[in-house]
Amino acid sequence: MTKPRAPLTYDNALTRIAAQIGWAAMAEAVGQRERTVRDWSDPDLERGCPIEAAELLDLAFQAGGGEGAPMHETYSLRLEAAHTRRFAAGIDLARAVCAMIREGAQAKEKMIVASFPGASDQDRRDALRELEEFIAAARVGIRLLTDPQSPQPP
C-alpha cells in the first residue's frame, strides 16, 4: 500500500524521483541499500535523507530524464516559506514605516501650504486630512511594536 505523502516534503520529493528512475537506481546513486532509501521517503519514520545524498539523487533524477531537482526545489520552497514566516513581522513593520514616512511627508507638505498667507479653508482641511492619515499609519506602527499577538522579528 502506498502511503500518502504531503506536498512540499522530502518524502514526496523522493517519491517523485523514484517514479522517474526507480528505487534501485536511487540506492545505487547514493551507495545505500534500497531499503534505506525507501525508509528516507517514509513519513512514519524519523530518518531523513542526508543532504549529500539529496544532491546525488537530484543529479540521478536529471540523468534519468527528469525535469528539475525535486530535493533542491523542496528545500528552496520550504526555506522560502520558513523565511517568510520568521521575518513577516519585520517586513510588516518596514511597510508600516514606509507608510508613516509617506503620510508624514504629505502631512508636512499640506501643513506648509496651510501656513502660507492667504491659505484657504480647503488648504487647512487638506492638512488635517493628511495629519489624520499620518496618525492612522503611526497607529499601525505602534500596534506592530506593542501588540503581543503580532509576531515579533527574531
Q: Are both 54 and 94 inside the same structural domain?
A: no
Structural domain contains residue 5: no
Q: Is the pLDDT of residue 91 over 90?
A: no
With 0.85 as the threshold, say if the pTM is over it: no
Q: Are both 60 and 105 inside the same structural domain?
A: no
Q: Is the pLDDT of residue 46 over 90?
A: no
Q: How far apart are CA 65 and CA 46, in angstroms?
A: 30
Highest-scoring range by mean pLDDT, 16-25, 75-84, 92-101, 145-154: 16-25
User: Per the structure, how many domains does the chain have?
Assistant: 2
Q: Is the pLDDT of residue 152 over 60?
A: no
Mean local confidence (pLDDT), 21-45: 96
Structural domain contains residue 57: yes
Q: How far apart are CA 128 and CA 116, in angstroms?
A: 15
Q: Is the pLDDT of residue 122 over 90?
A: yes
Q: Is the pLDDT of residue 127 over 60?
A: yes
Q: Are both 99 and 56 inside the same structural domain?
A: no
Q: Are both 50 and 95 inside the same structural domain?
A: no
pLDDT at position 126: 97
Give residue 136's domain range. Answer: 87-146
